[in-house]
Amino acid sequence: MSVAEAAELATIAQDPALRRSYAAARRLNAEHGRTYYLATLFLPAWKRPYVHALYGFARYTDDIVDSLDAQLTGAERAAWLADWGSRLLDTLHRGADAAGDRPAPTIATLPRVTVPGAPLADAAVPGAPVPGTSVLGNPGPSVPGPSVLGTSVPDARRPAVGANPAKRGPDAGDVSVLPAVLHTIRRWDLPIGHFEAFLASMAMDLTVTGYDTFDALMTYVYGSGTVIGLQMLPLLEPSSPAAAAYAGDLGTAFQLINFLRDVGEDLRRGRVYLPRESMDLFGVTRERLATGVVDGAVRRLLGHEVGRARELLRAATPGIRLLHPTSRDCVWTAARLYGGILDEIEKADYQVLSRRVAVGTPRRLAVAGRALVRSNLHRLVPPQR
């Protein structure tokens, strides 16, 4: 670790409030993001707190939307999400617009669009992105410059387990992760738009229950998955802008795998992340999925979507070589473990409606062991840039 890198850690350690905030984010990451946390261990130590902060932001926002507390109504969650988003965006925009006269926008004042092909109670979604195209033709905003080859995508739908979140701070306990998030955004000069897009997709989860087409689903995936990687990019230090196309597809693949792993869990929350056009192709309805029976039609549907996710994952992973050598093992580990989830779904004969598959400990240890050897070598040998 260089003197400058050690000084960064010291800056956090010397500020008690900031140190507690980063510690809260790390606890959230360790408790709720196993793949994400394991992959992060292969980054240089001085970068890890920033990754924990980004995960903490995503995790807490997810908690608001998908809290298991039945006492919270949809309207209460929407108000809570708007308040949380405004606290973040107001602070960031005040800094960005300090020299201007216009008021800082909040999540409540972001542009509103209608998501095509999405059954919902209220189609107006604040801040939804404008569709564009990635290298594999996946819809999503076109973002100039390098993109993500990030770590694994935090599950954007599974709530943390524990106390009533309405009585908790945005944290793991009562310590807010917000100071750490703001510090990370400023340290790495992360675009505010990435956080606006994420908040917009989380707002969609409060009203949207399904998607007619794959393109419509990708509008949601951009904010809930792709931008997680976009936030990570500066920390991963890509060597070429060419990483952008690979990166967007990798973030998309991770989120599609989350959907397949959690079909039953999401269905019980009233949402389906399988495109209706795919369901129609194989003659599967929401009601059929709700029975929990994996018959031939359901199996063929899930196999089709597993194939789509695996193809996207394979096409995206070559971009890992465009990252700084000390970042590659982090992303390689996440990609291998997410690919392992697809393998486990197939081994379980697609039984994901009543249970949640996971990569077993032996395979996780094998992947991590190989990554550990390589990451240590990368720290010993000066990188060729």
User: What is the CATH classification number for the domain harbouring 33?
Assistant: 1.10.600.10
Tell me whether residue 343 is in a domain.
yes
Q: Is 376 helix (H, G, I), strand (E, B) or coil?
A: helix
Residue 148: CB atoms within 10 Å: 31
Amino acid at site 77: R
Whole-number pLDDT of residue 135:
33
Whole-number pLDDT of residue 344:
97
Torsion sign, CA atoms 258, 62, 233, 137: positive
With DSSP H G I counted as helix, E B as strand and the rest as coil, what are the percentages for the chain, rounded to 5? 60, 5, 35
Tell me whether residue 99 is in a domain.
yes
Cα gap 225→143, rounded to integer Å? 14
Residue 159: CB atoms within 10 Å: 18
Cα gap 77→83, rounded to integer Å? 10
Cα gap 299→354, rounded to integer Å? 14
Do 159 and 68 form a contact (C-beta atoms < 8 A)? yes
207-234 residues labelled b (16+ CB within 10 A) or e (exposed): bbebbbbbbbbbbbbbbbbbbbbbbbbb
- The count of structural domains within the chain is 1
Partners of 126 in beta bridges:
112
CA angle 266, 292, 290 (to 5 degrees): 60
Give me the domain span that covers residue 249. 3-380
Phi, psi of 9 (to 5 degrees): -65, -35
Whole-number pLDDT of residue 379:
54
Tell me whether residue 96 is in a domain.
yes
Tell me whether residue 385 is in a domain.
no
Tell me whether residue 216 is in a domain.
yes
pTM, whole model, 2 decimals? 0.78
pLDDT tens string, the chain, 385 residues long: the values are 788 888 888 889 999 999 999 999 999 999 988 888 888 899 999 999 999 999 999 999 998 998 756 688 889 999 999 999 999 999 998 875 333 333 333 334 333 333 444 444 333 333 333 333 333 333 333 333 222 233 334 444 443 333 344 344 444 456 799 999 999 999 999 999 999 999 999 999 999 999 999 999 999 999 998 988 888 888 899 999 888 888 888 888 999 999 999 999 999 999 999 999 999 999 999 999 999 999 999 999 999 999 999 999 999 999 999 999 999 999 999 999 999 999 999 999 999 999 999 988 777 777 777 766 665 555 555 544 4
Nearest to 330 by CA among 227, 233, 223, 191: 233
Residue 63: CB atoms within 10 Å: 25
Residue listed under structure tokens 């070559």: 318
Task: Look at strands 112-114 and 124-126 and give their pairing.
Answer: antiparallel
Question: CA of 144: how far to CAs of 20, 153, 235, 246, 308, in Å?
Answer: 35, 21, 17, 14, 26
Cα gap 171→46, rounded to integer Å? 21
